[in-house]
Structures are given as C-alpha cells and as structure tokens.
Amino acid sequence: MRTPPPNARLVLEDGSVFCGWGFGAAARDAVGITRCGEVVFNTAMCGYQEACSDPSYRGQILTMTVPHVGNYGICAEDVESLGPAVAGVVVRELSRVVSNHRAETDLSSWLAAAGVPGIERIDTRALVRRLRLGGAMRGLVSSEVARSDDDLIAEVRASESMSGRNLAAEVSPSGQGRFDEDLGPWSPRSDRSQGARLRVVALDCGAKRNIYRHLVDRGCEVVFLPHDADADTILAAKPDGLLVSNGPGDPAVVESTIATLREVAGRIPTFGICLGHQLLALALGATTWKLKFGHRGANQPVRNLLTGRVEITSQNHGFCVDEASLEAAGGEVTHRHLNDGTVAGFRHREKPIFSVQYHPEASPGPHDSAYLFDCFLDAMRTREPLAEAAVRRRQSPEIEVAPLRDSVEV
C-alpha cells in the first residue's frame, strides 16, 4: 500500500518549511485550514492533554518533544479548561491506537472538534534545535495544499508577535463565579480541611482547573473574577486571600490587572502563579523580559533558596521577571531556575505577597511544589509574608541538602 504524499506544512518566520501529515482540524477540514501562532516546545514525557488545554498556550503552536503522542487518548476529567487552548499541535508520531480505559476520545478527534490543526511525521528534533538556536518564532500549520510556500511565509511574517499581546483578556472568564466542580478523586479529605473555611478570590487570567482543585482539596472556597476586576470588586468578595493565576501573553500589557494589584496586593495575603507572578512583580515596580525560547515542560529544576532543596517543576512561560528591578521594588528571590539562573519565585520583604514562576499544581506532575498551597493557607491565617519556617514545615520528608552555591552556571 502506497503512503499518500504529505498534506500539511509547518512554516516558520525564518522561511523554514516542514512537510508532514495533518491531523485534528487539518485532517477534517475539507477545504484546508491555516492557523498562526508562536511556535514553542514542551519537553514533558506525558501530559499532552493537560498541556493542550492549558490557557497559558493561547496563541501558540505547541511542539511535543516526546516522539510518540496520543497513546492514552483524551479523558475529560484531566483537561485543564473547557477544551484545547493551543493554536496548533506538532508531533513526531501520532498514536494510531488509544490504550486507556478512561479515554473518551482520541487526540485527533478532540482537536478537530475545536478547530485546532495538527501536523505529524516531521523531524521534531530538527525543529526544536532551530527554536533553541533562533528562539521561539512565529509560525503556522496549514493544510491548504493549493497555497505556495512563499504565500504562507508572507502570512507568518505579517502575523502578530507574542510581545505586546494581551491574551489574558481572551481567556479570562466574563464574570464572577464559584469553582464547584465535582472533584471525584479530588474530593476534600478531612485531614486537610480542618479549621475555619478560607475564602480565596482568584483573579483568573486563564487559570488551570487543577489550581482550584488544590485549594478546594484543602477546604477553601474559591471565587474567581475576571482578570480586569477592580479593587472594590475584590474587596467586596471578603477574601481571606488573593490568588493571581497563570495565563498567556505578554504580562507588561495586562495593564488593568497590574493597576488593580498595585492597589490591593499586600492588603490581602496574595499568591501568584506564572503570569500572576509576573503581574505581581510589575505591580510592585519591577520589570519583565522575554526569554529566548521559554521554559516549558515537567522536568524543570528549581532551587528553593529558603531551604536549599531542589524541586522538579512543571513550567510554561516565555517571559521572566528582572531580578535587579525586583529587589529594588522590595522583593526577595526565593526560588531560582537552575538551568539558566532566572527568577523562579519571590516574596515581598514586608507584605504578605509571594509567587512562583512555575506551576505548583503540576497536572499531571511532578508534585514537588504542592506544599506552596499549604504555605498560602498559612499566609491567610497569619497574614504574614512567606516564612522559611513555614516552607520547612510544609516540605516533607526532611532530607539532607547540599549547601547553597554562590552562583549558578548557565
């Protein structure tokens, strides 16, 4: 049986063209489909459905570096939002078989139903090498076979850059709500929900569901608000703590959220995650900058500077907080990325504010950093900044750690 010719292309703004076979909407759309986005890569060995449904990937074409993707299908309980959030998906090989009793559909069908194109059977090693050397760049996935390469390259170069895009406004909820999802295996356990019920108000910039599940699992009531909710709306909800969630795009242009945080952060114990970490830093007076190709994967090493322990973390971000400006604004670095030495977490020296650049909810894993949710509960009860004693108490088991080094080799 002869293999049909390639019917889809991945095109980059540097003029590179990768030919492959379409799946998802690229296989279902009879007239062909083209979607633009920033092409990035994720080094996780599993979790493709959680990654594809993470709103932080809005406006991006996601490349999975693991060569075989889709083998356990799609389970609705495990997705992180209402559906796929990516602009496109790139894999080396799409599994032809789904082997999971929990699966409700396959990856290709799930993407097709949401209008998301995919491309397979391209050399993802060559693609990732190009992105590492040249940086994340604009690209498109197209199954419009009648269009020329030059035409597609021109469309890519005319598309929007990630810098300057307020994508949080596209994925944030339109109004206030309460997270009351049936948690199933996540149902609160009595040993973790003792004491007075704490109310967490979340500025939802594109939050992953698993963030809310962790809080509900610890006995919290979670009320979410649009990313542009003002200070009066937040305070009217009578929160014990404020969560600033993850989300997509350039943090510096989410001006309404930054202005609100400048007014309210510190009056309430505040915890920021990923984009929320960047927004809190900007609200305090720090600056952010764009990484060359970002940190995306479930194997990113971070050292907790308060304890010396190393955590393997799940990350998904393309921007970073400038350390010098953070310290000038009253922040203190608490976590550092060990691959490049960038800021991975900070606390304010006086106010009850702390945040991390990575994802402590880490769905599907790892779970080294879940203790940060317990630290948030501690901060809500004491209304004090993140303390070393609280971190040590929450991290277990106690282990010997190497002494801190004075510098990080990049």
Backbone angles phi, psi at 381, to 5 degrees: -80, -35
Distances (CA, A) of 352 to 173, 344, 383: 26, 18, 6
Q: Which of 52, 295, 359, 375 is catalytic?
A: 359
- CA–CA dist 92, 357 (Å, integer): 29
Q: Whose CA is closest to 204, among 269, 263, 279? A: 279
Q: Whose CA is closest to 294, among 139, 128, 125, 135? A: 135
Backbone angles phi, psi at 31, to 5 degrees: -95, 0
Q: Which of 36, 52, 274, 375 is catalytic?
A: 274
Q: Is 100 exposed, middle or buried (0-12, 13-18, 19+ CB in 10 A)?
A: exposed
- Identify whether 359 is a catalytic site residue: yes
- Identify whether 274 is a catalytic site residue: yes
Q: Which of 13, 120, 311, 361 is catalytic?
A: 361
- Identify whether 160 is a catalytic site residue: no
Q: Which residues contact residue 2 at a Cβ distance below 8 angstroms, ignoring those fewer than 6 apart?
A: none
CB 45 within 8 A of CB 312: no
Q: Which two tokens stand for residue 336?
A: 């550092």
- Annotated active-site positions, please? 274, 359, 361
